[in-house]
């Protein structure tokens, strides 16, 4: 397996998800990552259930799925950074490090001496990556930030959910995941910059701004019009039909991205296209959304999901059954993906299933070879 980051050493002082997920991505690409945990451990070790069964050594009742999702490929050590001894040990570790990743609250980082000014003065070749709730130049800079709060603050919740329902969060901590991706990308850019110039830099990723950047076309549309976007449930605000529909034996998702695709679907469903020529263009379909979607819903209701998906596949119209996560991971592996990578646990001799990075290098998925570190206080 290719390891483009093999020579680089990363100290991971981060906790929860965004920071650990970023450093896991670096480990997948070959970096040597040391997870530095406080005496009580990363909080996600206790976030569950689900917990692994039968691990009597673990103080939290077995390794949590949450911790397992973001910490493979790492070594581990415990340091009490609130003690002079712990801080001194960290400074020793930094002598050989290329990158330090942290996500402390600003006040905590200052108390612990983990500001860019202090670290850069003591270790001028070490890149510092800081994940915060908010950027340092805004009024909210000292507030704590969790993914859930950022989904509320950023407007994500206001555009998620059924039109007449309550605002909803997304089903996974996607703000944290986005921040992790930005952070890992920023770290690699900083490493490249240091290789070229010898200069280490400070990478900063605010969760709030990762969330706002993730609004993409919704954010762009709001900037263009000045109007608050609406909630559309499973429908798309700018494309019709692009949503889920109930069938006789389940739900189907259909994403008609082109006018030709719609004409093919309309002929199959015997929609009155001749009497509604404005449907031939997406703009007309969006303007007549309620009428058109009602007709499509009526036509699809008695059909089997697989019949609809088969027709769409044969005509290059994106479509899928709405699946459960267990179905995708267990029954569709090999058909839809090869992302599950079992890793040998040297502690137990058993295999730990994990979801690899989707990055492929020369045809092989990037995935560190060791499972998350066990708790060894």
Residues acting as catalytic residues? 176
Q: Give one DSSP letter per residue of 275-319, joined into a string.
A: T-GGGGSHHHHHHTHHHHHHHHHHHHTTS-HHHHHHHHHHTT--E
Alpha helices in the chain (DSSP H): 18-28, 65-68, 84-94, 106-111, 116-122, 147-153, 174-197, 207-213, 216-225, 259-268, 282-287, 289-300, 305-314, 325-326
Closest CA to 252 of 335, 204, 318: 318
Name, in order, each residue with C-beta under 8 angstroms of 264's C-beta and a sequence gap of 6 or more: 315, 317
CA distances from 60 to 55, 56, 335, 352 (A): 9, 9, 36, 18
Residue-wise burial string across 168-197, b where 16 or more C-beta atoms lie within 10 A, e elsewhere: bbeeebbbbbbbbbbbbebbbebbeebeee
Q: Could you give the C-alpha distances from 340 to 14, 84, 267, 337, 362, in angstroms and in order? A: 25, 42, 40, 8, 18
Residue 50, preceding peptide bond in cis (omega within 30° of 0): yes
- 12 vs 101: CA distance, rounded Å: 5
Angle between helix 18-28 and helix 174-197 axes, rounded to 10 deg: 50
190 contacts 201 by C-beta, under 8 angstroms: yes
């Amino acid at each position: 397996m290719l390891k483009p980051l093999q020579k680089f050493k990363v100290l991971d002082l981060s906790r929860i998800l965004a920071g650990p997920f970023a450093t896991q991505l670096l480990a997948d690409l070959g970096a040597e990552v040391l997870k530095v945990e406080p005496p009580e451990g990363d909080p996600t070790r206790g976030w569950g259930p689900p917990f692994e069964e039968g691990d009597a050594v673990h103080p939290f009742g077995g390794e949590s799925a949450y911790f397992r999702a973001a910490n493979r490929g790492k070594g581990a050590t415990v340091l009490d950074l609130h003690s002079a001894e712990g801080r001194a040990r960290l400074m020793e570790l930094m002598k050989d490090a290329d990158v330090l990743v942290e996500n402390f609250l600003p006040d905590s980082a200052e108390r612990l001496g983990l500001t860019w000014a202090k670290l850069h003065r003591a270790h001028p070749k070490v890149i510092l990556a800081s994940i915060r709730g908010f950027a340092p130049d805004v009024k909210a800079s000292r507030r704590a930030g969790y993914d859930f709060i950022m989904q509320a603050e950023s407007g994500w919740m206001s555009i998620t959910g059924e039109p007449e329902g309550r605002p909803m969060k997304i089903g996974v901590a996607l703000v944290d995941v986005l921040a992790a991706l930005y952070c890992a990308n920023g770290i690699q850019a900083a490493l490249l910059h240091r290789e070229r110039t010898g200069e280490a830099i400070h990478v900063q990723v605010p969760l709030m701004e990762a969330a706002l950047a993730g609004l993409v076309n919704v954010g762009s549309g709001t900037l263009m019009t000045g109007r608050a976007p609406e909630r559309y449930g499973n429908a798309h605000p700018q494309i019709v039909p692009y949503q889920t529909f109930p069938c006789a034996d389940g739900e189907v998702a259909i994403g008609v991205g082109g006018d030709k695709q719609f004409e093919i679907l309309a002929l199959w469903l015997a929609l009155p296209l001749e009497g509604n020529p404005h449907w031939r263009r997406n703009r007309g379909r969006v303007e007549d959304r309620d009428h058109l979607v009602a007709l499509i819903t009526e036509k699809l209701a008695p059909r089997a999901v697989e019949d609809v998906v088969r027709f769409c596949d044969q005509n290059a119209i994106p479509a899928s059954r709405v699946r459960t996560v267990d179905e995708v991971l267990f029954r569709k592996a090999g058909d839809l993906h090869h992302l599950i990578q079992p890793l040998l646990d040297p502690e137990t001799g058993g295999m730990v299933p994990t979801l690899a990075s989707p990055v492929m290098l020369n045809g092989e998925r990037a995935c560190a070879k060791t499972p998350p570190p066990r708790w060894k206080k």
